[in-house]
Amino acid sequence: METDFTDKDTYQDLFDPEGYLDTYYNPKSGLLVVDGFLDFVLRKLHDAFCRRGVKGKTLIDIGHGPTIYQDLSACESFDEIIGADYTDVNRKYYERSLRNEPGTFNWDAVIQKVCDMEGKGMSVEEKKKKLENTVKKTLKCDVLQKNPLEPLVLPKVDCVMSIGCLECACSDLDTYRNVLKNVSTLLKIGGYIIISEILNCSSYLSGGKRFSCLVLTEEFMRSAIAETGFEIVDLEVIYRKYDKDQYEICNHDSSLFVLARKVKDVK
């Protein structure tokens, strides 16, 4: 299942938010629901923000795509969240989901799960309001640029999070290391980076189109994160059962979550 590198313009031209959400997050058949990724990431995000105390003024969610689940725990620990993604339709879909517009993907069961983990008795409706009020905007961004938010220059933030994006954006491992440096420029020293990726994946199907994925391993991620000026605070990998039909859609064998602290700038 090899495919040529699908660059950011392929995302811009061909990415279908609804097809992606149904294939990967449908509550019954979604590939990332069935393989345990979604529950894993929700648990790790809750752990980072609510138990380990990662908090601050601003968090940037890079490569959010059409999903909002990743911001549900963060909105309890940050005054504001700023979204960032290259693809116009995904930024629009993200905004429409935050406003809870009719016809957008239904995250209610996921929101309920996060409220249950938090144990504060917050209702799904209250959580949606909290999220909508915390995510202030979403910006065009290209992680391949030195300043991913160019031409904007934002004050450095307390946390940068990127879930399932950087391995889509990069054609090779050197580029991935550079992209870590690029996103690090948005972050204060002492601030946190949160990255979650699927591992050993070469391509995935979304909305009838096959997209390339950079093959990442745990060893590479550990060294790339350390080499680009971060100190790992928490790193966990979960494995996935083999299933021929599911692997034909997306062929990762495991998923990784990492929380790391920026200790220095690396040129």
Q: Name the site residues for ligand SAH (rule: CB under 6 A).
A: 8, 11, 63-65, 67, 70, 85-87, 90, 141-144, 163-165, 168-169
Q: Which CB sits closer to ligand SAH, 4 or 125? A: 4
Q: Which CB sits closer to ligand SAH, 65 or 229? A: 65
Closest contact distance (angstroms) between CB of 183 and ligand SAH is 10
Q: Which CB sits closer to ligand SAH, 77 or 162? A: 162
Q: Which CB sits closer to ligand SAH, 189 or 212? A: 212
Closest contact distance (angstroms) between CB of 85 and ligand SAH is 5
Closest contact distance (angstroms) between CB of 66 and ligand SAH is 7
Closest contact distance (angstroms) between CB of 121 and ligand SAH is 27
Closest contact distance (angstroms) between CB of 143 and ligand SAH is 4
Q: Which CB sits closer to ligand SAH, 8 or 43? A: 8
**3-class SS letters over the chain:** CCCCCCCHHHHHHHCCHHHHHHHHHCCCCCHHHHCCHHHHHHHHHHHHHHHCCCCEEEEEEECCCCCCHHHCCHHHCEEEEEEEECCHHHHHHHHHHHCCCCCCCCCHHHHHHHHHHHCCCCCHHHHHHHHHHHEEEEEECCCCCCCCCCCCCCCCEEEEEEECCHHHHCCCHHHHHHHHHHHHCCEEEEEEEEEEEEECCCEEEECCEEEECCCCCHHHHHHHHHHCCEEEEEEEEEECCCCHHHHHHECCCEEEEEEEEECCCCC
